[in-house]
Amino acid sequence: MSDPRVIVALDVPEAGSALALAARLDPKLCRLKVGKELYTAAGPQLVEKLLQSGFAVFLDLKFHDIPNTVAAACAAAAELGVWMADVHALGGRAMMMAAREALAGRPAAPKLVAVTLLTSMGEADAAEVGLTGTPQDNVLRLARLARDCGLDGVVCSAREAALLRRECGAGFLLVTPGVRPETDAPDDQKRVATPRAAVGNGADYLVIGRPITRAPDPLAALRRICDEIAK
């Protein structure tokens, strides 16, 4: 499989366990996501090792700062050679356009996606920081803004994927966490979808952590998910 759709979230605290987990997976079947915890602990050296092992890496640091700083951070992610990076859409138009601009014209530039509204925020939380309307209204508005700024896509829940696919068109990448095979516990995820439902709703890439990383045989769990998607 040349374009694996599963992105395994390496939510572990240090390099040793991340590399041990990666060694039990297969770059032909999945990509890897390195988030704030692991990156803060293990840094670019770990990302380089994962890339050398043949994995494409989603550097999930959700940049949100002034345009100049975010543009420089995106350029650094591109230099590192990651496949995907993300920013917060709430950083606004100028910030997203600066990020886009920083990657323009680079060979093999990372795909740039935006987080819209964090799924941990409900309507009351959003209203408290001045975002009125339903979470869905906010997600849609921010996704459209990200698309207008030339970003490649957004991170969204599988349940929003169908709406965003309709509203933002084909080719706009939808990256969805909160995915659980039917036989797995939801853990702390509240609004889950099965891999098949997520893809059916229009998701391009599925971010999956614990159902794979905590499985007794991570590669077997990954294979089952890939088979479910392929059906």
Window 108-127: residues binding ligand C5P (CB under 6 A): 119
Q: Closer to ligand C5P by CB, 11 or 152: give it.
A: 11
Nearest distance from C-beta of residue 116 to ligand C5P, angstroms: 9
Cβ(12)–Cβ(36) under 8 Å? Answer: no
Nearest distance from C-beta of residue 107 to ligand C5P, angstroms: 28
Is the C-alpha dihedral spanning 42, 44, 49, 51 positive or negative?
positive
* Active-site residue (options: 28, 49, 62, 231): 62
Residue of 6, 46, 40, 12 lying closest to 26 (CA atoms): 6
With tokens 């297969």, the residue in question is 26
Q: Closer to ligand C5P by CB, 2 or 120: give it.
A: 120
| DSSP state for residue 110 in the 8-state scheme | P
Q: Does 195 bind ligand C5P (CB under 6 A)?
A: no
User: How is 132-145 classified by DSSP, letter by letter?
Assistant: -S-HHHHHHHHHHH
As a whole number of angstroms, the longest Cα–Cα distance in the chain is 45
- Tell me, yes or no, if 62 is annotated catalytic: yes
Q: Does 160 bind ligand C5P (CB under 6 A)?
A: no
Catalytic residues: 62
**Which chain residues interact with ligand C5P by CB under 6 A?**
9, 11, 35, 119, 155, 177-178, 187, 189, 207-210
